[in-house]
Structure 1
């Protein structure tokens, strides 16, 4: 196998993983109460759904662009690492 083929396969696996994380983040964001977003001061629910929806789109087309995959991973990462814990805290749910 050529080095280029190996690298392409690795990037494809990463893009699929980022896609899965983005879908999980989107579904989780959709399941949270809208008032919890306001209480945390972390934008509104529609804004986060739009950000994560765009991240899913970028992840789907990520095999075309490494930058798109990186942006999608960053968006999902910010939601999962920063916003989601605060939402759960405000709603009195465990992590």
Structure 2
């Protein structure tokens, strides 16, 4: 094989690593936004939703964001799940409580 073919193969095989890096970066930025949102939310909203306390979620999101931005092996995947749980489960329920919808 010539060097052009080897370089093409190397480029193609590095695409998953670039995609993972981009995903961790995007979810890490979302984690930063989640930390800010959780820190600005009233503490009693977390209690009313039956979730972990405000400071627990701020800590979870902060540690997750650090793990994602540092791309810690294996831990970053758990961190991405934690950020996803906040945005797709905890945050919508808290928004319903704060708006007075209570999920109805």
Same fold per superposition (TM over 0.5): yes
Backbone CA RMSD of aligned residues: 1.7
For 2:45, the equivalent position in structure 1 comes to 36
- Higher percent of residues as helix: 1
1:1-80 residue pairs with structure 2 within 5 A? 1=8, 2=10, 3-62=12-71, 64-65=72-73, 67-80=74-87
For the Cα contact (< 8 Å) 2:24–2:80, is it kept in 1? no
| Structure 1 Cα separation of the partners of residues 58 and 93 of structure 2 | 16
The structure having more radius of gyration, on CA atoms, is 2
Number of equivalences: 92
| Structure 2 Cα separation of the partners of residues 59 and 93 of structure 1 | 34
Task: Could you tell me which runs of 5 or more consecutive residues in structure 2 were left unpaired when the two chains were aligned.
Answer: 1-7
SS of corresponding position for 2:83:
helix
Q: Quick one: higher RCO (CA 8 Å, sep 6+), 1 or 2?
A: 1
